[in-house]
Chains A and B, each alone.
Chain A
Amino acid sequence: MLTYIARRILYSIPVLFLSTFLSFIFVSYAGNPLGALRANPRVSQHTLQLVAHHNHLDKPVVIRYFYWLQEVFTHKLGNSLLTFQPIWPDVTRTIGHTAQVIVISESLAILLGVAVGIFSAIKQYSVFDYTFTSLSFLGFAMPTFWLGLLLQILFVDIYLHWNVRIFYTSGLNSPGTTATWSIDRLQHIALPVVTLCVVSFALYSRYMRASMLDVINSDYVRTARAKGLPEWRVITRHVVRNALIPVVTVAALNLGGLLGGAIVTETIFSLDGFGYYFINSLQNSDLYAVMAYLVVTSIIIIVFNLVADVLYGFLDPRIRYD
C-alpha cells in the first residue's frame, strides 16, 4: 500500500507540471493582463511597456512559464501581477473560508444523503422513496445561482415582514462578532451552505440508494437473514457498511472538487473564498493569482483522488494495491 501511495505521488508530479504548463499557456492566451490598461486611452505607451517589462509580458509564453515557476518556488506562488503583493497570504485566507463552508455543507449532505438513501432503499417504491427521488432530481436540476438568489430574497422578505434576522445574505461576519465558529458566522454562511448542500445531498442520496439496492440483494445478506439475524442488524452491520464504500469515494472526490471553490455560490453571497478569489483574478487577468489557484486546486484534486483510491482499498478488502 505504501509503495502504491508513493508511486501515485511520484506519477502526480509530472502530471502537475504538465497541467500547470498547459494552464499557463491557455490562461496567457485567453486573457491579457494589459487589456484593461490598453482600453484606457489615458494610459501611455511608455507605461504599457514598463508594466509589460516588469511582468515579463514582453517575453515568449514559454519563457514566462519558467519565470513563474521560479516565483512559485522562491516566493511561495509569487506576487500578484496587479498589486505586487504576495499571493500566499491571500490563498491561505480564502481557502480557509472556503474550507469552512464546504466542510459544513458536505457533512450535512453526507449525513442527510446517506440516511435518505438508506430509507429509500429499504422502503423501495414507497411514498418516502418517490418523494425523495423527486426531490433529488429537483436538487440536481436546480441551478445553484438561482437557488442562492431565491434564498437571499426569501430571508430578506422574512426580515422585512417580521423584523426577525434569521440568516444574512452576504459576507462572512456582521458587526458585533469576529469569531470563526460563532453563531454570527454560522448565520452568515448558512445560506451558502444550504445552497451547496442541496446538490450534494441529491448526489449522495442517489448513490446510497443505488448502492444499498445492489448490496441488499447479495448472497451474504441472504445468508445473514437465513441465520436469523434481526433485520436492523442485517441492514446496519452488513448492508450499510458495504453500501457506503462507493459513497465514501464519491464524497472524497466531491470534497476535493468543491475545495477548489464554489465560485458561483461565493460570488452570490460575497464570500471571501477561494472560488471568488479565482474568478476575480481571472477577470483582472492577474495571471500569477490565477495560476496559484490552479496549482492549489490541482494538488487538492490529486490528493483527494489518492485519498479516494486508498480509502476504497481500505474499505473493501477485495481491493489490493501493488
Chain B
Amino acid sequence: MHRRFWALALVGAAVVALAASATATARSAAQRTAALKAAPFAESWAKVPRTPAGRAAKSVLVFGDEQDPSGFNTLQATQSSAWAQYELSPVIRGAFITDDQGNYIPDLVSSAVANKTSLTYNIRPNAFWNWGGKKLPVTAQDFKYTLDQLLNPNNQVTSNTGYINIDPSKTKITGTKKITFFWNTSCPADKLAAGTCAVGPFVSYRDLFSPVVYPSAALQGLDFNTLWGNCVCGSDGKPISDGPFILTNWTKGSGTTEVVNPFWYGKKPGLKELDWKFTPDTNTEIQAMRGGELDAIYPSPQTALSQLVNQPGLVYNTNRAFIMEHIDVQQGPDSNPLLHQLWMRQAIFLGINRVALIKALFSSYAPGTKPLNSLEYILGPAAKPDFAKWSSAPGKALALLKAHCTGGPSKPTRGNTAIWTCNGTKAEFKYYTTTGNARRATSTLIWQQQLGAIGIQIDPVFQPGPTVLFAQTLPSHKYDLAEYAYVFGTADPSGNDSVYKCGSPGDFTSYCNKTVDKLLASAGTDFNPTTRQATYQKIDQQLAVDLPIIPLYTYPSILVYKKAIQGMQHSNASLSIGPAWNAEDWSWSS
C-alpha cells in the first residue's frame, strides 16, 4: 500500500512540476538572434492600465490584432502578412503613404520626380532613424540598400515589380538626401525571360520604396531572409524606427508594444503608447471590445459584427477595401462556346441581381455596401460607374436569349427548369469558386436561382483556393465562370494590367482586345497623372462593353473603436497599410 501511495505521489508531483513549468512571458530575447533588448511584452503590459478610462488617462491604446505576425520583414515572401504590415506601418515608413482616400502622400520624401528615363527622390531633411536611442538621418544610402536587397537574387522577396525596371549600376547619389535611379534601357535575354529584369519606366513609381525603406547602417551583415523575425531592430538587437512609434517589444502569442518615437519628423503623436493585443478569433474580439478589454479592432467582416453596430460608446465604421469580388467569364477554347458571344455575357450580367446578393451578405454588419461598377479604379473620384448599365434586368436578359436561343422560359420564373439551347449548345456553365467560403457558397446559390429563372444553368464546382483553383484551374483557362477576389495592393490600377492584356500570365479569361492593349501600353509610359487616368478610364469603358469580367462588390472593411478616440480614420488600403496609417493622429479626447 505504501508503494502504491508513493507511486501515486510521484505521478502527482510530476504533473505539478509540468504545470509549474508554465510561464507567462516569453524567455529573454537574448536567446534568439538579433534579440530585442527591451523588456518582455508582459512587463511592458504591466504598465498598461486595465480599463479604457485608465488607458485614456495615460494615452495608451490597445488595438486587437487578429494574427500573430510571423515576422516584420513584410517585403520577405514568407513574412509578408496583412497584420504584420498594419503593426509595422507606424514604425517603418516609406517614400509615400496612402491616405484614407487612396491618395499618395509623400512621407519620407519631400518630393519624387519621375520621367521616362529616371526617378529622383528628395528625402526629407528631418527624416531620422531612432536606433536604440541613437538619432541617424534617413539617407539616400537607405534607398540604395533597399533596392539592392530587393534585386538580390538570393533574397526571397515578395514582389520586385517595378524595382526590376531600375538599373542599379547607374544610381546617382547627390549629397545624402538626394538619389536618382535610372530605368533600364535594355536587359539581358536570360533575365528578361526569368522576369528579373524589365525595360523602360515603371509608371506606378509611387508604389516603389513604399511602405518600407530599410535602415542600411543598422542592417549591415544581416540576412534579408531572416531579418526582423522576432523584432524590428538593428544588428545589435536594439529597436529601430523612422515612424511615429518604435516597436519596443514583441511577445509571440501575446502582442506588441509600440511607444512614441521622439525623432519622428511629423507632429508629436497624440498617444504615448500603442499596444497590439493578439486576439485571433473575431467573436472573441467582439466580446473583448464590448467588455472594454480592447479599444479598437479591425475585424474580418462577418455577421457576428452586427452586435457592435449599435453598441453605445463605440464608433462602427465601414469602408471599401481594395479587394474586388468578381466573376471571370472564360472566352478561351476550353470553355462553353456560348460565352464567346457578347449577347450571352450581357444576358448573364443582366440576369444576376448584385444588390440582392449584397443585401443578403452584408446588410447586418456593413450596410451601405454597394455593387462595384468599375474595374480599373474601384474607389475614389476616378472610378466611373461604367458597369452600372448592366444592373439587374432579367426581362432584358430574357429578350437577348430569346433572340438567339430556343427552349427557355417565356418570362423570368422562380424554379424554372427549361434551359436555353443556342445554336445546338445548351446554356449550361460550370461555375468555379473556392471551398469553405460561406459568402461564395451563398452567392453561388443565389446565382443558380437567378440565372435559372431566365433559363441559364450553372453547375457549381468548389475547389481549394491556393492549391487548385488559383494554382491550376485559373491558369489553365479550363473553366466557364469563376468567382474569386482580386486583391489590390495599392490604389494604382496598373497592378492589374496583366489581367486584361492579350496573352499575359494574369489574363485568365483569355480576353484579348488590341485596342485595350494599346491603351495599356500608352498608360504604361505616361507620367502625366491626368492623361494616364483618362487612359485607364477609357480602358474601363471598353471593358464594360466587352464584359470579360463581371465586377460584384468590394469587400467591406470594418473599423470599430471607442467613441472617445479621436483621429482614427478608416483606410481603403487595407492590405498595404491598414488601420494604423495615421496612428500619429490618434488620441483620447479629454
Q: Contacts A32-B466, A170-B279 given: A314-B288 contact, CB under 8 Å?
A: no
Stretch at the interface among A40-48, A116-124, A132-140, A213-221: A40-48
Return the 6 tightest CB-CB contacts between A and B, nearest first: A272-B253, A35-B466, A100-B22, A175-B48, A42-B159, A96-B22
9 contacts between A and B (CB under 8 A): A32-B471, A37-B77, A37-B78, A42-B158, A165-B291, A170-B287, A173-B254, A178-B42, A276-B253
Q: Which of chain A's residues 36-68 have a Cβ closer than 8 Å to chain B?
A: 36-47, 50-51, 54
Question: Does the CB pair B156–A174 fall under 8 Å?
Answer: no
Kindly provide the distance from the CB of A77 to the nearest chain B CB, expressed in whole angstroms.
15
Question: Does the CB pair B156–A272 fall under 8 Å?
Answer: no
Question: Does the CB pair B252–A38 fall under 8 Å?
Answer: no
Proximity bits, B139-172, A CB within 8 Å = 1, else 0? 0000000000000011111111100000000000
B194 contacts the other chain (Cβ, under 8 Å)?
A: yes
Q: Give A170 to B253 CA distance when docked, in angstroms.
A: 12
Q: Contacts A89-B31, A270-B279 given: A51-B22 contact, CB under 8 Å?
A: no
B25 contacts the other chain (Cβ, under 8 Å)?
A: yes
Question: Does the CB pair B78–A83 fall under 8 Å?
Answer: yes
B277 contacts the other chain (Cβ, under 8 Å)?
A: yes
Which DSSP category, helix, strand, loop or mixed, fits chain B's interface?
Answer: loop
Q: Give A210 to B254 CA distance when docked, in angstroms.
A: 43
> Which among B32, B45, B284, B467 is the interface contact of A169 at CB below 8 angstroms?
B284
Q: A74: which B residues are within 8 A, CB to CB?
A: none
Q: Which of chain B's residues 282-340 have a Cβ closer than 8 Å to chain A?
A: 283-285, 287-288, 290-293
Q: Name the CB-closest residue of A to B289.
A: A156
Q: Contacts A267-B280, A269-B284 given: A93-B45 contact, CB under 8 Å?
A: no
Q: Give A165 to B52 CA distance when docked, in angstroms.
A: 13
Question: Does the CB pair B23–A180 fall under 8 Å?
Answer: yes
Select the residue from B71, B157, B280 with max chain A CB neighbours within 10 A: B280
Q: Name the CB-closest residue of A to B17.
A: A99
Question: Does the CB pair A270–B278 fall under 8 Å?
Answer: yes
Q: Give A152 to B47 CA distance when docked, in angstroms.
A: 25
Q: Contacts A39-B470, A44-B159, A44-B160 given: A169-B50 contact, CB under 8 Å?
A: no
Q: B78: which A residues are within 8 A, CB to CB?
A: 37, 51, 81-83
Kindly provide the distance from the CB of B53 to the nearest chain A CB, expressed in whole angstroms.
11
Q: A42: which B residues are within 8 A, CB to CB?
A: 158-159, 161, 489, 495
Proximity bits, A140-184, B CB within 8 Å = 1, else 0? 000000000100110110011000010011111111111110000
Question: Does the CB pair A276–B280 fall under 8 Å?
Answer: yes
> Which among A43, A152, A179, A311 is the interface contact of B77 at CB below 8 angstroms?
A43
Q: Give A82 to B229 CA distance when docked, in angstroms.
A: 9
Q: B498: which A residues are within 8 A, CB to CB?
A: 41
Stretch at the interface among B3-11, B86-94, B391-399: B3-11
Q: B277: which A residues are within 8 A, CB to CB?
A: 170-171
Question: Does the CB pair A185–B288 fall under 8 Å?
Answer: no
Q: Give A178 to B39 CA distance when docked, in angstroms.
A: 12
Residues of B whose CB lies within 8 Å of any CB of A are 3-4, 7-8, 11, 15-16, 18-19, 21-27, 31-32, 42-43, 45-50, 54-55, 68, 70-71, 77-80, 153-161, 194-196, 225-226, 229-230, 252-254, 277-281, 283-285, 287-288, 290-293, 465-467, 470-471, 487, 489, 495, 498, 506
Q: B8: which A residues are within 8 A, CB to CB?
A: 311, 314-315
A85 contacts the other chain (Cβ, under 8 Å)?
A: yes
A309 contacts the other chain (Cβ, under 8 Å)?
A: no
Q: Give A174 to B60 CA distance when docked, in angstroms.
A: 14
Question: Does the CB pair A47–B157 fall under 8 Å?
Answer: yes
Q: Contacts A82-B78, A178-B42 given: A307-B11 contact, CB under 8 Å?
A: yes
Q: Name the CB-closest residue of B to A35.
A: B466
Q: Contacts A84-B229, A90-B252, A171-B277 given: A180-B22 contact, CB under 8 Å?
A: yes
Q: Contacts A84-B226, A96-B22, A272-B252 given: A178-B281 contact, CB under 8 Å?
A: no
Question: Does the CB pair B7–A314 fall under 8 Å?
Answer: yes
> Which among A38, A51, A178, A272 is the interface contact of B278 at CB below 8 angstroms?
A272
Q: B46: which A residues are within 8 A, CB to CB?
A: 175-178
Select the residue from A152, A175, A310 with max chain B CB neighbours within 10 A: A175
Q: B230: which A residues are within 8 A, CB to CB?
A: 83, 85
Question: Does the CB pair B292–A159 fall under 8 Å?
Answer: yes
Q: Give A44 to B157 CA distance when docked, in angstroms.
A: 8
> Which among B18, B194, B252, B470 is the interface contact of A46 at CB below 8 angstroms?
B194
Select the residue from A100, A170, A267 with max chain B CB neighbours within 10 A: A170
Q: Contacts A51-B156, A82-B79 given: A174-B466 contact, CB under 8 Å?
A: no
Residues of A whose CB lies within 8 Å of any CB of B are 32, 35-47, 50-51, 54, 80-86, 89-90, 92-94, 96-97, 99-100, 103-104, 149, 152-153, 155-156, 159-160, 165, 168-180, 185, 252, 255, 267-270, 272, 276-277, 280, 284, 286, 307, 310-311, 314-315
Question: Does the CB pair A280–B68 fall under 8 Å?
Answer: yes
Question: Does the CB pair A99–B506 fall under 8 Å?
Answer: no
Question: Does the CB pair A270–B27 fall under 8 Å?
Answer: no
Kindly provide the distance from the CB of A310 to the nearest chain B CB, expressed in whole angstroms.
8
Q: Contacts A82-B70, A85-B229 given: A311-B158 contact, CB under 8 Å?
A: no
> Which among A54, A268, A307 is the interface contact of B156 at CB below 8 angstroms?
A54
> Which among A38, A94, A268 is the interface contact of B253 at CB below 8 angstroms?
A94
Q: Contacts A84-B226, A315-B4 given: A270-B24 contact, CB under 8 Å?
A: no
Q: Give A304 to B26 CA distance when docked, in angstroms.
A: 27
Q: Name the CB-closest residue of A to B284.
A: A170
> Which among A40, A90, A92, A179 is the interface contact of B158 at CB below 8 angstroms?
A40
Question: Does the CB pair B45–A50 fall under 8 Å?
Answer: no
Select the residue from B253, B293, B466, B506 with max chain A CB neighbours within 10 A: B253
Question: Does the CB pair B24–A179 fall under 8 Å?
Answer: yes
Question: Does the CB pair A43–B19 fall under 8 Å?
Answer: no
Q: Contacts A85-B32, A86-B32, A170-B279 given: A103-B253 contact, CB under 8 Å?
A: no
Q: A170: which B residues are within 8 A, CB to CB?
A: 277, 279, 281, 284-285, 287-288, 293
> Which among A80, A81, A156, A268 is the interface contact of B281 at CB below 8 angstroms?
A268
Q: B495: which A residues are within 8 A, CB to CB?
A: 42
Kindly provide the distance from the CB of B89 to the nearest chain A CB, expressed in whole angstroms.
18
Q: A40: which B residues are within 8 A, CB to CB?
A: 80, 158-159, 487
Q: Contacts A89-B32, A96-B22 given: A169-B287 contact, CB under 8 Å?
A: yes
Q: Give A284 to B84 CA distance when docked, in angstroms.
A: 14
> Which among A32, A84, A90, A172 is the interface contact of B467 at CB below 8 angstroms?
A32
Q: B283: which A residues are within 8 A, CB to CB?
A: 149, 152, 268
Q: A100: which B residues are within 8 A, CB to CB?
A: 19, 22
Q: B7: which A residues are within 8 A, CB to CB?
A: 310-311, 314
Question: Does the CB pair B49–A175 fall under 8 Å?
Answer: yes
Question: Does the CB pair B196–A46 fall under 8 Å?
Answer: yes
Known: A156-B290, A169-B287, A175-B47. 13 other contacts (CB 8 A): A32-B471, A40-B487, A46-B153, A83-B229, A89-B27, A165-B291, A170-B277, A178-B45, A255-B15, A280-B280, A314-B3, A314-B8, A315-B8
Q: A180: which B residues are within 8 A, CB to CB?
A: 22-24
Q: A179: which B residues are within 8 A, CB to CB?
A: 24
Q: Name the CB-closest residue of A to B43.
A: A178
Question: Does the CB pair B11–A171 fall under 8 Å?
Answer: no
